A and B are shown apart, each in its own frame.
Chain A
Amino acid sequence: MAIIRTENLTYVYGDGTPFRKVAVDNVNLSIDEGEFVGVIGHTGSGKSTLIQHLNGLLQPTSGSVYIDGEKLWEDKKRLRDIRFKVGLVFQYPEYQLFEETVYKDIAFGPKNMGLSDDEIDRRIRETARMVGIKEELFDKSPFELSGGQKRRVAIAGVMAMEPKVLILDEPASGLDPKGRDKILGQIREYHKEKKNTVLLVSHSMEDVAKHAGKILVMNNASLYCYDTPVNVFAKASELSAMGLAVPQITRVFKRLDQMGCNIGEEVYTVDFAKNLMLKLLNRNNNMEE
């Protein structure tokens, strides 16, 4: 069953003022449980607005959102429970840290859920391990940590609520390539281990191609497509027309194909490219022999 479903979801900012803007336009979407979805779109395409509907932070202007079969905004008292079910990590989440210690900050979400102290403790230790925060940092102030550590503590704070759906808005923005790979790798590990649904918002095609099983493309406030990476990257020219670049490696192989190398397959990760090259080289070698 689809864990996230939207029906004609539309959201308008500043309705009735001169600043009126349609941010999400009639989006129909159905995401299955356990999926790792990459959400891409250029700045202002409506991806951040879309994800804030999925945990009931924004109320749709029209249309509806269903989480786990339950319609949001039917009963406002249920919204808080929905937010525990759909964990949302905002962009630059380190700016939401506020507690005296790292441990207490990660505990904020689970505590709001009303869990027992033992359960909270278990979750903190588990999520801290998952995001690579060592236990000796637990008693430090979150403001003493490095940028990357802060970010990982903030992500752990949401993961510790063990949401069925974890949504991350540009979790790697502003980090160096090493920090970026680390965080994205940890998110992928989390997905593997927990088998939860993960939505990763990014504007880097490379990141999305590397990790996601499905890709959702937003363009000008509406849903452009929701499909597997192979099918999405097959539309390379349409994507570049909306200002989204397909991964470099895909472009290289597309070009090779055009030049008559006869690759015959969509390539969108470097690993895949390596294996394919080896295969092709072997084939050629065999033919020569």
Chain B
Amino acid sequence: MLKDITIGQFFPGKSIVHRLDSRIKIILTIVFIFMLFMADSFYGLGVGIIYVLGAFLLSKIPFKMMLKSLKPLVPILIFTGILNIFFITAGDPVFEWRFITVTDMGLRTAAYNMIRIIGLIIGSSLLTYTTSPIALTDAIERLLSPLKKIKVPVHELAMMMTIALRFIPTLIEETDKIMSAQKARGADLETGSLLQRAKALVPILIPLFVSSFRRAEDLALAMECRCYHGGEGRTRLKQLKTAPRDYVALVITAGFVFLTVFADKLA
């Protein structure tokens, strides 16, 4: 069950998408999200979907991984769909039964929003699949660095994010281990009432907390031993550099933005 978490999962590769500058990738992802929300027709949304699918193909990430990232969101998708279908009353009714009215407008909005969410997930998971967590936080730090002027601790925030991302797999592994150990002692995690199940989590959460604190202390000590003292005067091993391909990606994306906005008129 814990193995299904795909947040922050990185798929190493050498494709053009992998090699793009991580700052550019973040910007493109944000632009893509705007694209999805600017589009107000199926044509516009179609352009957005073609854009993200094209990027996915270029990245050579197995198609299965895309479906895997969508799987946990199925309940949210269904919920959004139902909400839009039944609660939008504007437009021409296509179906009426007692107090339930379904309008063409409701159906359309539901479809739009579901497509938008799907696009959103595919786009952002493409970003994490093709960018290592370290490159990602580096890029965030660089993109946010203007905020340093107004005393936002950008470096510290980025470092916190790096550490958090770094420890997700470790914590998952640790949880798995503790769960196995308590199961071996007869802990029953799968059956019983809600209260019983919540209680059954205590033997897992306490050791997990204890070891997280221990880990945090160890890490802090290890960082201090290597003279870590925050972002001041720190240089990087890997400099982020833009290459011609990054500008090409920007131009192509700009083209797609144009298409999205004018898709209606062009069609």
Q: Is B a genuine binding partner of A?
A: yes
Residues of A within 8 A of B (CB): 18, 52, 55, 57, 80, 83-84, 87-90, 93, 95-98, 108-109, 112-113, 143, 157-158, 161
Query: Chain B 183-207 against A: per-residue CB contact (8 Å), 1 yes, 0 no?
Result: 1111110000000000000110011
Q: Which of B178, B182, B185, B207 has the most CB of A within 10 A?
A: B185
Q: Which of B11, B181, B202 contacts A90 (CB 8 A)?
A: B181
Tell me the dominant secondary structure on chain A's binding face: helix
Chain B's closest residue to A158 (CB) is: B185
Q: Which of A18, A52, A57, A96 has the most CB of B within 10 A?
A: A96
User: How many interface residues does B have (CB within 8 Å)?
Assistant: 18
B207 touches A98 (CB 8 A): yes
B180 at interface by CB-CB < 8 Å: yes
Which residues of chain B are near A57, meaning CB under 8 Å? Answer: 180, 183-184
B166 at interface by CB-CB < 8 Å: no
Chain A's closest residue to B12 (CB) is: A18
B180 touches A52 (CB 8 A): yes
Which residues of chain B are near A18, meaning CB under 8 Å? Answer: 11
Give A159 to B206 CA distance when docked, in angstroms: 22
B185 touches A98 (CB 8 A): no
Q: Which of B178, B187, B203, B210 contacts A143 (CB 8 A)?
A: B210
- Known contacts A95-B178, A96-B207; is-contact A90 B186 (Cβ 8 Å): no
Which residues of chain A are near B188, meaning CB under 8 Å? Answer: 80, 112
B177 at interface by CB-CB < 8 Å: yes
Which residues of chain B are near A95, meaning CB under 8 Å? Answer: 177-178, 181, 207, 210-211
Given contacts A93-B181, A98-B206, A112-B186, 4 further A-B contacts (CB under 8 A): A95-B178, A95-B211, A96-B181, A109-B185
Residues of B within 8 A of A (CB): 11, 177-178, 180-188, 202-203, 206-207, 210-211
Chain A's closest residue to B202 (CB) is: A98
A55 touches B211 (CB 8 A): no
Give A89 to B181 CA distance when docked, in angstroms: 7
B184 touches A112 (CB 8 A): no
Q: Which of A52, A98, A113, A143 contacts B186 (CB 8 A)?
A: A113
Give A90 to B183 CA distance when docked, in angstroms: 11
Which residues of chain B are near A84, meaning CB under 8 Å? Answer: 186
- Known contacts A96-B207, A108-B203; is-contact A88 B184 (Cβ 8 Å): yes
Which residues of chain B are near A90, meaning CB under 8 Å? Answer: 177, 180-181, 184
Which residues of chain B are near A89, meaning CB under 8 Å? Answer: 184
**How far does the Cβ of A237 sit from chain B's closest Cβ, in whole Å?**
36
Residue pairs across A and B with Cβ atoms less than 8 A apart, 22 shown, are A55-B184, A57-B184, A80-B186, A83-B183, A83-B184, A84-B186, A90-B184, A93-B181, A95-B178, A95-B210, A96-B178, A96-B181, A96-B185, A98-B206, A109-B185, A109-B186, A112-B186, A112-B188, A143-B210, A158-B184, A158-B185, A161-B185
